[in-house]
Structure 1
Amino acid sequence: MGNQMDKLSHLSYAEVPTVDRDGVDTEEGPRIGVSYIFSGDDDELEDGCAVDGTVKDPKQEEKQYDRRDEVECSVYNREECIYDKSSKCATLEVYSPENLLNKCKAGDLVEFVATGQYPHWAVYVGDFQVVHLHRAEVKNSFLTDASQGRRCRIANDFYRFKALGADMVVQNAMEQVGLKDRELSWRNPECFAAWCRFGKREFKMGGEIRIGKQPYRLKILMSDKHSHVLEFQSLEDVVMEKRRNDYLGRRAVQQELAAHFNTVNREPGAD
């Protein structure tokens, strides 16, 4: 049998299950989904913080990471796959920061992962250093410091856009160092790092006009035969939801979707 694809009915923001509501530019068939507009960044649940927001020692031992609880997904812009994070199409192996240094080249994207945290993205600029958006400021840090005890991997191939030249990627990153707060054009470190590498305005805040159409689809892969699809008006919205799922983990996302479909399928008046 082919893949079975379930689709969520349209939800208002209040009905959408969430953890925390504050949390070089160029550029059919009806589907049902939802768009998110977030009012805040998710950095408070990122580097150096546990899920409850308590500050951790940056020199602590390696944080817990379980590959089996990682959410696999794909993103489509209309019919074109623009992002794929699945075991069939991407290298999901993770390394210690020290081991990753032997594999990184200037201009590479690095993703840091740990259980119960949003993934953190950075641009490797050479000399053991990365540029990343951290706590509403673009910073230049040593890769081992930016990792905050997390495992990491090269994330160049998740997005399927054509990359800029390595020199341009590094230049894009370095030119933003020191920007903070209202000077920023990116809502989270993934959007910042991806913009540096691909130069697409869609990764910036307000980079796309939301006009009612929902050209983006997030396909969450739950098993070999089952997936769930959400639709969004902008790539920025997709990234925010994708990152929320990464924070929750595979089991929690499965439970959330199961609870939603049980509610949708319940007959009116049923106990």
Structure 2
Amino acid sequence: MSSLEVQRHNQTVLKSLEQGDQVEFVRGLYSHWAVYVGDNEVVHLSGDDGARGSDMGHSFTISGVEFGKATVRRDNFWDVVGDSEVHKNNSKDEKLQHFKPSEIVRRALSKIGEVGYNLIFKNCEHFASWCRYNKEQSDQADGLLTGLAVGGTLVAAFGIAAWLKSGQKKDREKRSEY
């Protein structure tokens, strides 16, 4: 989509939002998540370097110790959207029971100023999900973990295969010495 088409799309999405809706800002390799609280405003867990929801810049943790941080903040929708394409995304409603809109908004506003971030356990999607469903869930983080597990398994399998092959080659070389 051209930037004008994205802007029109985002305007249409904004008009359709109701209090308590989860808002997904597609950033390319990842999405940033927020809760719509009304009056063109969202509450989100955002990197401290600006409203645009750059939480991925603060993902470095070792054993839960955070390096960099993010803060729950209330920002204007347009300040967060930047050049991202936006979607109303309450898809977890299919599996999870959600609060009434006023309760979702109350929960989101109650966390403003809270600091903390972890890519796998405490990201912006976890926050938005907690506000709406009382369950910190991130499909993105789960997908990342699955990808890492599959990738690690493949690396291990190829490593074992290479090790076995090199062992067979050494056995053949030893037999040929006699």
Question: Taking structure 1 as the reference length, what is the TM-score of the superposition?
Answer: 0.42
Amino acid at match of 1:107: G
Shift of 1:266: 2.5
Check if 1:188 corresponds to 2:101.
Answer: no
Name 1:113's counterpart in structure 2: 26
Amino acid at match of 1:266: A
Name 2:84's counterpart in structure 1: 150
Check if 1:162 corresponds to 2:63.
Answer: no
Q: Structure 1 residue aligned with 2:72, among 138, 141, 149?
A: 138
Q: How far does the alpha carbon of each residue in 1:18-49 deviate from its partner, in whole angstroms, 9 at most, with x for none? A: xxxxxxxxxxxxxxxxxxxxxxxxxxxxxxxx
Which structure has more relative contact order (CA 8 Å, sep 6+)? It is 1
Amino acid at match of 2:141: M
Find the residue that maps to 1:269 and give its secondary structure. helix
Say if 2:116 and 2:122, in contact at 8 Å, map to a contact too: no
Name 2:36's counterpart in structure 1: 124
How many residues are paired up? 135
CA RMSD of aligned residues (A): 3.4
Find the residue that maps to 2:42 and give its secondary structure. strand
Identity %, equivalent residues: 26
Shift of 1:244: 6.8
Aligned equivalents of 1:261, 1:181: Cα separation in 2: 33
Q: How far does the alpha carbon of each residue in 1:112-153 deviate from its partner, in whole angstroms, 9 at most, with x for none? A: 11223x211000011111100001111111112112211111
Find the residue that maps to 2:122 and give its secondary structure. coil
Aligned equivalents of 2:75, 2:134: Cα separation in 1: 22
Structure 1 runs (4+) greater than 4 angstroms displaced = 255-259
Aligned equivalents of 1:243, 1:198: Cα separation in 2: 22
Say if 2:22 and 2:89, in contact at 8 Å, map to a contact too: yes
Say if 1:129 and 1:140, in contact at 8 Å, map to a contact too: yes
Name 1:179's counterpart in structure 2: 114
Check if 1:103 corresponds to 2:16.
Answer: yes
Question: Taking structure 2 as the reference length, what is the TM-score of the superposition?
Answer: 0.62
Q: How far does the alpha carbon of each residue in 1:214-245 deviate from its partner, in whole angstroms, 9 at most, with x for none? A: xxxxxxxxxxxxxxxxxxxxx67x75242578
- Structure number with larger C-alpha Rg: 2
Normalized per residue, which structure has more helix?
A: 2
Distance 1:133 1:153, change over 3 A: same
What residue ranges of structure 2 are gaps of 5+ in the alignment? 48-69, 167-178
Amino acid at match of 1:152: V
What residue ranges of structure 1 are gaps of 5+ in the alignment? 1-60, 66-94, 204-234
